Amino acid sequence: MKTFQKPLSAAEEAHYIQALQEGNSDEAAAAKEILIERNLRLVAHIAKKYQNVDEDMEDLISIGTIGLIKAISSFDAGKGKLSTYASRCIDNELLMLLRSKKKSRGEVSLFEPIGTDKEGNEINLLDIMEHEQVDITEQMALYENTKKLAKLLGEVLTDREREIICLRYGLLTGKEVTQREIGELLNISRSYVSRIEKKALNKLREKFEER
């Protein structure tokens, strides 16, 4: 499968949506093209849900892209996040394809098997329709940001700062520790823990935004 461009940041997405809705014809056309290109990865992720329903993946992506284009053309801020709204539109377009295929061979049943999942279990249209809508773009962005922060922890913080941040937010154990508990553990005052934590967070934020 082809490699797709990375999703837009929240600020970039807002900029292009505004250009699409408020810019002149050239600006709107350019913004629409960028919004489509930078959301094709979302189409591919959603299309994977349907890869075992006897349809070519490239065809699924093509149909899903139609749903993406419709979403971008009809989106407004009142509909929530673009990725969430687009996911529903892409899903709807793919479900319409499957229904039309079924209708060409007879009546559609939501419970009729249309393929199997990766484990070999039968899936039907109802399974797909009830599948929880996941904000895939947000998940990918969270994953990338988490990797970036993990790297910065070792690059920009002192040993003491890193220890306090890891304890405070449960980065190693999954259990958050209060400033008072950290102070008792390290034999320093709670206020000193607070100052170190604040300084460390500011350093992380500054370096994170630079990158």
The structural domains of the chain, with segments of one domain joined by +, span 10-134, 157-210
Per-residue model confidence (pLDDT) at position 52: 67
Which CATH class name applies to 157-210?
mainly alpha
CA nearest to 18, candidates 79, 86, 76: 76
CATH 3.20.20.70 fits 10-134, yes or no: no
Per-residue model confidence (pLDDT) at position 4: 79
116 pairs with which residues across the strands?
A: 122
Per-residue model confidence (pLDDT) at position 106: 47
Per-residue model confidence (pLDDT) at position 132: 45
Per-residue model confidence (pLDDT) at position 209: 74
Spans of the chain below 70 pLDDT:
1-2, 52-54, 77-79, 101-143, 145, 211
Per-residue model confidence (pLDDT) at position 108: 46
pTM: 0.50
Per-residue model confidence (pLDDT) at position 123: 58
Residues near 172 by beta carbon (within 8 Å), at least 6 away in sequence: 166
Long-range own/partner contacts, residues 79-87 (CB < 8 A, 24 or more apart)? 81/135, 81/138, 82/13, 82/17, 82/35, 82/39, 83/7, 83/39, 83/42, 83/135, 83/136, 83/137, 83/138, 84/133, 84/135, 86/39, 86/42, 87/42, 87/46, 87/133, 87/134, 87/135, 87/136
Per-residue model confidence (pLDDT) at position 80: 74
Per-residue model confidence (pLDDT) at position 109: 52
